[in-house]
């Protein structure tokens, strides 16, 4: 492999990881944009999404790496698995918001954030106690189609991941920009009090943000499984922190920013393995997080959050 091929390969890998982080980052950004809350439960909602996708695929008869499908059955199986993980995660998100966070909305300071840490713990341990700690073989029904671009390899699953990410992000952008509730979300992000006075049902907007963010985390969890061919109970922490860094990097609260940040983080991760060694990737990413927060807290595309005065 020449160095140009290596670079291309890293871009391919980085874009796939980046798609996953971007989808996950959107959940942080939607919730933060509307309620200024870092939602730690998001880490493990993502992990649950990965598990739900795995169980759904297994229920549909796809086991391990050996079941290969093509055509309509493949599309059908993937759609069902994505839909299932998104709906279950969206439901969990709504439940967290409705029953655990809404009672705390008027409370200032860390209680809401501490609650999300608690929820994260509960999700983690429920999965741990029911499914165990071992890495699971994530079913992969994709046919092994490979394109060679120079020395770099582009597999079908990477293309699929990109397509799914683009569709979901496009859908979200449309939703936020052009629908009535999307407009209500943007209004609430600017000024919850004014939005409420103008007749926006803030409760519904917050719930919608949780639903969308968590559903995207579910999709992201399935992408994780397809990319790494594994599902594991402790994947939430690392992926979640990277996605959060992505959200901050792009400008927290900013939807296109989260997408951009996700892709950048993906590229950094895929190349830092070469440059500083995989063991230090986390250190690189956390350092980036600190540097961004200290020197450019608004991120690359600007921060959007309620102006609490």
Partner 1 sequence: MVSSAIAAVSRPFMAMSLERRKTLGLILLAVILLIFPIVNPDDGDIDNAANALAYATLALGLNIVVGFAGLLDLGYAAFFAIGAYFYGILTSFQVMPLWSDVWGPFAYLGLVEKMNQGGPDLVHFTLSFWLALPLAALTAAFFGILFGAPTLRLRGDYLAIVTLGFGEIVPIVARNLDSVTNGAAGLNGVQAPRLLGYNFGIDATPYYYVGIGLAALLIFVSTRLRNSRVGRAWVAIREDETAASAMGINLVRFKLMAFAIGAAFAGMTGVYFVAKLQTATPEMFNFNVSSMLLVMVVLGGMGSVWGVVVGAVLLQLMQTWFLPQVTGWTHSLGVALGNSYLQNVDFVQWTQLFFGLILICMMLFRREGLIPATRKVAPLSFAAQHAEVKRGGFVGLDRIPRWTPGAGNALEIRGVTVKFGGLVALNAVDLTLPAGGVLAVIGPNGSGKSTLFNVITGLVPADSGSIKCHGVELLGLAPHQVLEQGVARTFQNIRLFPNLSVLENVMIGRHARLKSGPFSSVLHTPGNVAEEAAAKQSVLDIIAMFGNRLTPRLAQMVGGLSYANRRRVEIARALASRPKILLLDEPTAGMNPAETLELAEQIKSLHDLGLTILIIEHKLDVVTKLADSVVVLDHGDRIAEGLPDEIRRNEQVLTAYLGRAARAAVMEETDAG
Based on the shown chain and the rule CB under 8 A, indicate whether residue 124 belongs to the binding site for partner 1: yes
User: Least distance to partner 1 from the beta carbon of 256, Å?
Assistant: 21
- The reply on whether position 293 binds partner 1 by CB under 8 A is yes
Looking at beta carbons only, is 207 or 298 nearer to partner 1? 298
Q: Are 29 and 254 in contact (CB under 8 A)?
A: yes
52 interacts with partner 1 by CB under 8 A: no
Nearer to partner 1, 168 or 239 (CB): 239
* Burial of residue 269 (number of CB atoms within 10 Å: 0-12, 13-18, 19+): buried
Nearer to partner 1, 71 or 109 (CB): 109
72 vs 99, beta carbon nearer partner 1: 99
Stretch in the footprint of partner 1 (CB under 8 A) among 64-72, 187-195, 200-208, 291-299: 291-299
| CA distance linking residue 128 with residue 119, whole number of Å | 14
106 is a contact residue toward partner 1 (CB under 8 A):
no
| Contacts to partner 1 from residues 236-275, by CB under 8 A | 237, 241, 244, 248
Is 50 in contact with 74 (CB distance < 8 Å)?
A: no
> With binding defined as CB under 8 A, does residue 100 bind partner 1?
yes
Contact status, residue 219 vs residue 22, Cβ threshold 8 Å: no
Query: In the structure encoding, which two tokens stand for residue 201, read together?
Result: 């049902």
Contact stretch for partner 1 (CB under 8 A) within 33-41, 61-69, 197-205, 215-223:
33-41
Q: In this structure, are strands 136-137 and 230-231 parallel, antiparallel, or unpaired?
A: antiparallel
Site for partner 1 (CB under 8 A): which residue of 55, 112, 185, 243? 112
If binding is defined by CB under 8 A, does position 46 make contact with partner 1? no
Q: Give CA torsion, residues 188, 192, 194, 197, to 10 deg.
A: 100
Stretch that binds partner 1, among 6-14, 47-55, 119-127, 210-218 (CB under 8 A): 119-127
If one asks whether residue 286 binds partner 1 (CB under 8 A), the answer comes out as: yes
Enumerate long-range contacts of 97-101, CB under 8 Å, 24 or more apart.
97/206, 97/207, 97/210, 98/207, 101/37
Question: What phi-psi label fits residue 39: left (phi over 0), alpha (psi between -120 and 50 degrees) or beta?
Answer: beta
Are the CB atoms for 29 and 248 separated by under 8 Å? no
The closest alpha carbon to 204, from 120, 274, 102, belongs to 102
Closest to partner 1 by CB, 75 or 283: 283
Q: Is residue 129 a contact residue for partner 1 (CB under 8 A)?
A: yes
Q: Which of 6, 67, 282, 296 binds partner 1 (CB under 8 A)?
A: 282
**CA-to-CA dists, residue 253 to 9, 144, 161, 239, 270, angstroms:** 31, 38, 24, 19, 25
- By CB under 8 A, what part of segment 201-240 binds partner 1? 237
Query: Would you give the binding string for partner 1 spanning residues 139-158, x where CB under 8 A is met?
Result: --------------------
276 counts as binding partner 1 under rule CB under 8 A: no
HSE value, Cβ hemisphere, 13 Å, CA-based, for 278: 2
- Where on the chain is the footprint of partner 1 (CB under 8 A)? 36-38, 100, 103-104, 107, 109-115, 117-126, 128-129, 237, 241, 244, 248, 279-280, 282-283, 286-287, 289-290, 293-294, 297
């Amino acid at each position: 492999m020449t160095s140009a091929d290596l670079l291309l390969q890293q871009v391919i890998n980085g874009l796939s990881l980046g798609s996953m982080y971007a989808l996950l980052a959107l959940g942080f950004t939607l919730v933060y944009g509307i309620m200024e809350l870092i939602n730690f439960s998001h880490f493990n909602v993502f992990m649950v999404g990965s598990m739900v996708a795995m169980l759904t695929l297994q229920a549909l008869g796809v086991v391990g790496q050996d079941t290969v499908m093509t055509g309509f059955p493949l599309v059908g199986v993937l759609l069902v698995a994505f839909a299932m993980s998104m709906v279950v995660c969206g439901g969990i998100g709504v439940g967290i918001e409705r029953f655990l966070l809404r009672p705390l909305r008027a409370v200032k300071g860390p209680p809401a954030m501490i609650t999300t840490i608690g929820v994260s713990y509960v999700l983690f341990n429920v999965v741990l106690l029911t499914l165990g700690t071992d890495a699971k073989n994530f079913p992969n029904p994709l046919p092994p189609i490979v394109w060679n671009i120079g020395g770099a390899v582009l597999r079908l699953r990477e293309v699929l991941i990109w397509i799914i990410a683009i569709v979901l992000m496009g859908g979200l952008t449309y939703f936020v920009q052009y629908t009535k509730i999307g407009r209500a979300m943007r209004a609430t992000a600017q000024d919850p009090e004014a939005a409420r006075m103008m007749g926006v049902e803030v409760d519904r907007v917050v719930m919608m943000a949780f639903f969308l963010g968590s559903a995207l985390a579910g999709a992201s969890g399935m992408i994780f499984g397809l990319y790494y061919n594994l599902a594991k109970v402790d994947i939430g922490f690392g992926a979640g922190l990277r996605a959060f860094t992505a959200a901050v990097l792009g400008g927290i609260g900013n939807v296109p920013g989260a997408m951009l940040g996700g892709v950048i983080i993906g590229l950094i991760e895929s190349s830092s393995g070469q440059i500083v060694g995989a063991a230090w990737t986390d250190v690189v990413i956390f350092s980036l997080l600190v540097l961004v927060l200290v020197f450019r807290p608004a991120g690359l595309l600007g921060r959007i959050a309620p102006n609490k005065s």
